């Protein structure tokens, strides 16, 4: 199973500013002082070994959209945030989208940051393509149509040439699509969101964004522990620090890095992928956020060693970024 991340920001797109780009260049040049950069190979080696991620790259701009590779089959996509535009652009430039294809889009919920990219998804305008929205929200079609209605958008929904279907199921109905076994869970978020658990070829990936975990998460039978159980990766909404999630931004519908560590550790999930980043955080702040999360995992396991044994879960913690590709 391979996952491609096209949009990882939370709430709204968060582009870099000119001062941010300048700071990256300054820090890179400062670190390069005295280094041998006489060839492309040496330059790349220097960047990979000497520059932190926040200097050599960026965590990205786009809102929620991920893709599961499905060679020879239909496209498997979660959410239609602004990242789906880049997915469509890539398919067009590589020639993939020129062939009639089916696109399955699994919707967590209908907030704007999770649907705003669809009007710019070029494959939706190509006759012969088929797009199926899988959702538990009966309002899905209406929400997509309304965001393309005048005067806010110049192109109406009906101008799209693809055959677009809406597969609206009763809440928590499991799916089996393209060989993926898909289970879901209702999440604590304004208007309700749904997490997805994908299983194929012995691998398990959980996509759980826009979900707030409160004091109930500490109960022994908390359902998310079983939902995350033994997953190869849990893509987890950790937009906030624990302090923000508990006090200043309680009931906003998002969770913390601390809760992500604790839940995936209890579930023995192998990899925790932090998702839905706070848009006001810079790349440097997100680098610090990742370091603090990894540090907390060590503290948590020291305090919980008797219950968890000697294995340290999650085995890996990473911060998602636009363009990230992971093999499970």
Least confident among 59-73, 108-122, 248-262, 298-312: 298-312
Nearest to 316 by CA among 198, 253, 250, 235: 235
Q: pTM value?
A: 0.94
Under 8 Å between Cβ of 66 and 92: no
Does 89 score more than 60 pLDDT?
Answer: yes
CB neighbour class for 322 (10 Å; exposed up to 12, middle 13-18, buried from 19): buried
Does 108 score more than 70 pLDDT?
Answer: yes
Sign (positive or negative) of CA dihedral 53, 236, 228, 226: positive
Q: What is the pLDDT of residues 290-303, one digit of tens each?
A: 999 999 998 888 77
Report residue 305's pLDDT band, with 50, 70 and 90 as the boundaries.
Answer: low
Q: Specify the pLDDT at position 98.
A: 77
Residue 245 backbone dihedrals phi, psi, to 5 degrees: -65, -30
CB neighbour class for 74 (10 Å; exposed up to 12, middle 13-18, buried from 19): middle
Task: Classify 99 as helix, strand or coil.
Answer: coil
Does 158 score more than 70 pLDDT?
Answer: yes
Under 8 Å between Cβ of 88 and 122: yes
Q: Specify the pLDDT at position 308.
A: 53
Nearest to 254 by CA among 235, 271, 277, 273: 277
Q: What is the pLDDT of residues 25-55, one digit of tens each?
A: 999 999 999 999 999 999 999 999 999 999 9
pLDDT mean over 67-83: 96
Cα dihedral angle (148, 154, 159, 160), rounded to 10 degrees?
-60
Q: Specify the pLDDT at position 235.
A: 98
Does 309 score more than 70 pLDDT?
Answer: no
Under 8 Å between Cβ of 268 and 225: no
Give the β-pairing of 175-177 and 163-168: unpaired
Q: What is the pLDDT of residues 317-326, one digit of tens each?
A: 999 999 999 9
Burial 92-127 (b: 16+ CB within 10 A, else e): eeeeebeeebbbbbbbbbbbebbbbbbbbbbbbebe
* DSSP one-letter code for 16: P
Residue 246 backbone dihedrals phi, psi, to 5 degrees: -90, -35
**How many angstroms separate the CA atoms of 11 and 189, rounded?**
13
**Rg of the chain over all Cα atoms, to the nearest angstrom:** 20
Does 111 score more than 80 pLDDT?
Answer: yes
Report residue 268's pLDDT band, with 50, 70 and 90 as the boundaries.
Answer: very high
Nearest to 103 by CA among 127, 143, 73, 82: 73
Question: The domain 2-14+59-327 is classified under which CATH number: 2.40.30.20, 1.10.569.10, 3.40.50.2000, 3.60.15.10?
Answer: 3.60.15.10
Query: How remote is the C-alpha of 117 from its chain's centroid?
Result: 14
Least confident among 84-93, 108-117, 190-199, 308-317: 308-317
Task: Classify 319 as helix, strand or coil.
Answer: strand
Q: Which helix (H) or strand (E) holds 306?
A: helix 305-308
Does 236 score more than 90 pLDDT?
Answer: yes
Does 310 score more than 90 pLDDT?
Answer: no
With pLDDT > 90 as the criterion, what percentage of the chain qualifies?
A: 87
Under 8 Å between Cβ of 4 and 88: no
Q: Specify the pLDDT at position 265.
A: 95
pLDDT mean over 224-230: 97
With pLDDT > 70 as the criterion, what percentage of the chain qualifies?
A: 98
**How many angstroms separate the CA atoms of 288 and 54, rounded?**
10
For the chain, which residues make up each domain, given as ranges? 2-14+59-327, 18-56
**What's the chain's average pLDDT?**
94
Does 327 score more than 80 pLDDT?
Answer: yes
């Amino acid at each position: 199973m391979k996952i491609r991340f096209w949009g990882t920001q939370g709430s709204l797109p968060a582009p870099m500013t000119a001062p941010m780009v300048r700071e990256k260049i300054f820090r890179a040049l400062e670190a390069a002082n005295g280094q041998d950069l006489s060839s492309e190979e040496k330059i790349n080696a220097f960047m990979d070994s000497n520059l932190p991620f926040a200097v050599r790259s960026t965590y990205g701009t786009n809102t929620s959209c991920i893709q599961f590779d499905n060679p020879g089959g239909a496209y498997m996509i979660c959410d239609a945030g602004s990242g789906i535009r880049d997915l469509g652009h890539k398919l067009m430039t590589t020639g993939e989208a020129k062939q009639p294809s089916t696109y399955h889009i699994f919707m967590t919920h209908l907030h704007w940051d999770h649907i705003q990219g669809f009007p710019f998804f070029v494959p939706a305008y190509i006759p012969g393509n088929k797009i199926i929205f899988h959702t538990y929200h009966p309002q899905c079609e209406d929400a997509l149509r309304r965001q393309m209605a005048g005067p806010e958008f110049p192109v109406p929904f009906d101008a799209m040439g693809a055959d677009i279907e809406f597969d609206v199921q009763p809440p928590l109905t499991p799916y089996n699509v393209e060989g993926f076994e898909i289970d879901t869970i209702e999440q604590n978020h304004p208007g309700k969101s749904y997490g997805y658990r994908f299983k194929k070829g012995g691998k398990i990936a959980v996509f759980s964004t826009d979900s707030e975990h409160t004091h109930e998460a500490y109960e022994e039978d908390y359902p998310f522990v079983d939902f995350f159980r033994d997953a190869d990766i849990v893509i987890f909404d950790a937009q906030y620090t624990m302090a923000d999630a508990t006090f200043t931004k309680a009931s906003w519908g998002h969770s913390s890095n601390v809760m992500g560590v604790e839940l995936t550790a209890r579930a023995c999930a192998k990899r925790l992928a932090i998702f839905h980043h706070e848009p006001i955080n810079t790349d440097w702040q997100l680098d610090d956020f990742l370091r603090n999360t990894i540090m907390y995992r060590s503290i948590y396991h020291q305090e919980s060693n008797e219950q968890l044994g000697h294995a340290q879960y999650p085995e890996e913690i990473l911060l998602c970024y636009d363009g990230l590709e992971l093999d499970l």
